[in-house]
Structure 1
Amino acid sequence: MSVPVPFRPLPRGTEGVTYEHGPDSSRLPGVPAGETIEMLWAQSAVYPGTSRRVWVHVPAHEGSAPVAALVVFNDGWWYLDPAGEVRGAVVLDNLVHQGDIPFTIGVFVEPGVVVGAEQPKNRNVEYDAFDDRYATFLVDEIVPMVTARYAVTDDPGRWVVCGGSSGGNAAFTAAWMRPDRFRSAVCFLSSFAQMPGGNPYPDLLARSARKPLRFFLQAGHRDLNWNAPARNWLAENLRVGAALVEAGYDARLVLGDGGHSPNHGGVLLPDALRWALAPPA
């Protein structure tokens, strides 16, 4: 059935375009706030010498918490910050309360910091690599911190990994490497263009057997190097989106007019989670 979309005029120029958040990205009357706890992880075997903060958000519930679906958010605080563009915990509270998604715990994971290093930020090492380290780190180190406290479903169809920019291709790679755990990835403005050795996915998708995965991608007309012949964020996202549908994947690509900003992805997050956590057709 066709879904009517209200008319909105197209901006004449695309410099400085921002999108207005919908109601699910703000605290709604009558929706109780869930509980967010902060933890520190400094014993990584996958990324030795790193330390990072992790926040776990549990929507409000009566009695013991139900068995939960799981959404892992890369770039933890950027995606948790209730005054930011994404507001992940606020969105989870609203969607769970409305029954739009199952009871879902959000895990907001900061990139690692190498303690005592001259260049301590480990974000690009973790997020832009094409290997299974980050997926292993999430599954073997971070998720057990959550399951030690809360009941989480073992159904990979209810596990989602989400991120933007380098965190977007990290989400894609985590699902690609571990489809036994993450069956959906939500990827905003993914930095496929800066992966060491180049973007592997258009070729890999074309020659690999289809995996049981679903992908929600967002790209921007004015993303980094949008009109450049190389390291073009827009072009690489379009290539991945095309390769996904050509390979028969259940995938959505939303194209906006903004630049390299979390704004549009944040606006889309409620619908992206509804899509990612919907029961299989």
Structure 2
Amino acid sequence: MILSLLLTIVLESDPISAAELRDALKAPIDAEAGDRLADRIRERLPEGVDPARGAHFHDEGLAAFVLAVPSDANPAPRLEGMVTRQQGRDLKPIGETGLWAIVLEVANDQKFNYELTLGDDRIGGGSIEMPGWTYPPESSERPGQDYGTFREFNFRSEVFDNDRAGWIYIPGAYDGSEPAALMVFQDGDAYKREHVGTVVENLIADGEMPVTILALLNPGVNDDGARNRSVEYDTLSDRYATFLADEVIPRLESEFNLRDAPSFRAIGGASSGGICAFTVAWERPDLFGRVCSHIGSFTNIRGGGAYPEIVRESERKPIVKIVLHDGRNDLINRFGDWWEANIRMHEALTNKHYEVDFVTDDSYHGYQAAGRVLPETLRLTWEGWTD
């Protein structure tokens, strides 16, 4: 009786809100109610959006996902991707209208990607910025301040026997008269999109990190065209550190005046790039003394879930600072639970008395999660940098 009354109420006015759709989906939807509800959903969708390719709308703390496929589809269409923590959720049919929908509670200050699938086929997807989402002010250029330049960084790796691409960021504050610090990021294109150059430039201007040359490195591309990302980033060995020591840093040192003390060299990355950053400092603390891991994959992709125990059983290494970041809405899949893995990693590092900070929020898995906390995490990474 209550559900029937609730459905009657939400069908009374147009267009529909995410909260009203959520409530309507709790009740059985007959043919007549389905027609009325489908009309309200279509009126809410942005103009020109074809629900056959997937659609969404959102309100405060709620996101609605809509797909148009036959009402007798079997299996049901599913919502996949980071917003479900990679668990997937079935959509519910709106009567016999051919519309299907689901509404999820989501963190109001987050941005995330999603996919809509039917069986093995990806039908649609997109990116959602919730009403409270915004980049931090350090991600925007400031009037009257000098900013640097990005330069392409391409070469052939002998260590991995593949082609490399990426970027060098030269801050406006660098003139070569004094040696600069160095920071390497994995997945360089992604960090470039997340305004890392602007953030670093603003932090340099504020005295919160030294003048720093950035090396933004993408995964290698093998001769067959396949990216070598997981092999390079998730493998627990010194091979990637050797690649940096033998092939990347010498190229940079030939052009830039760089500090060689580990306390003035940092490495960062997100997801598999985050565990890669830690592995480099773990294997070569003489090379990189500071680590910044965003949504780090300390899970069992290639054995990374063993790191907490490795840390506990090993002698403490001379790593100056470690910063971990993760969100409570991070992934859960066959490799593990990212949030729990980062908690375990933080506990292990703390128990061994490393200088470690753990930045937490409600973020989902994605580079935008790193972009949102870049200023905070880089401040912590470079804490105590002054001579």
TM-score bin, normalised by smaller chain:
0.7 to 0.9
Superposed displacement of residue 96, structure 1? 1.6
1:55-93 deviations in Å (ceiling 9; x for gaps): 111111375453100110100111112xxxx21111121
Output the CA distance in 2 between the equivalents of 1:14 and 1:21. Answer: 18
Q: 2:187 aligns with which of 71, 75, 88?
A: 75
- Equivalent residue in structure 2 for 1:90, among 195, 198, 201: 198
**Cα displacement (A) at 1:15:** 4.8
- Aligned pair 1:45/2:158, yes or no? yes
2:169 corresponds to: 57
CA distance, structure 1, for counterparts of residue 328 and residue 376 of structure 2: 20
User: Who is 2:223 aligned against?
Assistant: 115
Match for residue 210 of structure 2 among 92, 99, 102: 102
Contact 2:236 2:304 in 1 (8 A): no
Q: What is the CA distance between 1:194 and its match in structure 2?
A: 3.5
Seen in structure 2, the aligned counterparts of structure 1 residues 77 and 230 have a Cα distance that, compared at 3 Å, is: closer
Counterparts of 1:58 and 1:108, CA distance in 2:
11
The equivalent position to 1:21 in structure 2, one of 135, 148, 152, is: 135
Question: 1:234 — aligned with what?
Answer: 339
- Give 5+ residue unaligned stretches, structure 2: 1-60, 63-104, 111-132
Letter in 2 for 1:274: R
CA distance in 2, matches of 1:74, 1:230: 21
- Mapped contact 1:163–1:187 kept (Cα < 8 A): yes
Looking at structure 1, the residues matched to 176 and 184 of structure 2 have their Cα atoms a distance apart, in angstroms, of 22
- Compute the TM-score of the two structures, normalised by the length of structure 2: 0.64
Distance in structure 2 (CA, Å) of the matches to 1:62 and 1:269: 21
- Which residue of 183, 186, 192 maps to 2:292? 186
Q: CA deviation at 1:16?
A: 6.5
Distance in 2 (alpha carbons) for counterparts of 1:280 and 1:156:
11
**1:230–1:108 Cα change, 3 Å:** closer
Q: Which has the larger radius of gyration?
A: 2
Correspondence for 2:146: 32
| Aligned counterpart for 1:272 among listed residues 358, 366, 377 | 377
Contact 1:14 1:258 in 2 (8 A): no
For the 8 Å contact 1:112–1:121, the answer to whether it is kept is yes
Specify whether residues 98 and 140 from structure 1 end up closer, same or farther in structure 2 by C-alpha distance, changes over 3 A only: same
Identical-residue share of aligned pairs (%): 34
SS in 1 for 2:312: helix
Please give the secondary structure, in 1, of the residue aligned with 2:305: coil
Which residue of structure 2 lines up, in the alignment, with residue 249 of structure 1? 354
Q: Determine the C-alpha separation between the residues in 2 that align with 1:259 and 1:26.
A: 23
Are residue 132 (structure 1) and residue 246 (structure 2) matched?
A: no
**2:282 aligned to which of 164, 176, 183:** 176
1:219 and 2:331 are equivalent in the alignment: no
Q: Secondary structure at the match of 2:179?
A: coil
SS at match of 1:91: helix
CA distance in 2, matches of 1:126, 1:209: 25
Higher RCO (CA-CA < 8 Å; seq separation 6+): 1
CA deviation map 1:133-173 (0-9, x unaligned): 01111121111111111000011101000000000000010
Q: Distance in 1 between matches of 2:202 and 2:286?
A: 28
Note the residue ranges of structure 1 that are not aligned, 5 or more in a row.
1-10
Asked if 1 retains the 8 angstrom alpha-carbon contact of 2:150 and 2:170, the reply is yes
Aligned residues: 262
Residue 199 of structure 1 aligns to a residue whose secondary structure is: helix
* RMSD between aligned residues: 2.1
Task: Please give the alpha-carbon distance, in whole angstroms, between the structure 1 residues aligned to 2:223 and 2:341.
Answer: 33
1:99 shift after superposition:
2.3
Letter in 2 for 1:223: D
Q: Contact between 1:65 and 1:150, CA under 8 Å: does it hold in 2?
A: no
Residue 41 of structure 2 corresponds to none
Distance 1:198 1:265 in 2: 20
Amino acid at match of 1:47: F
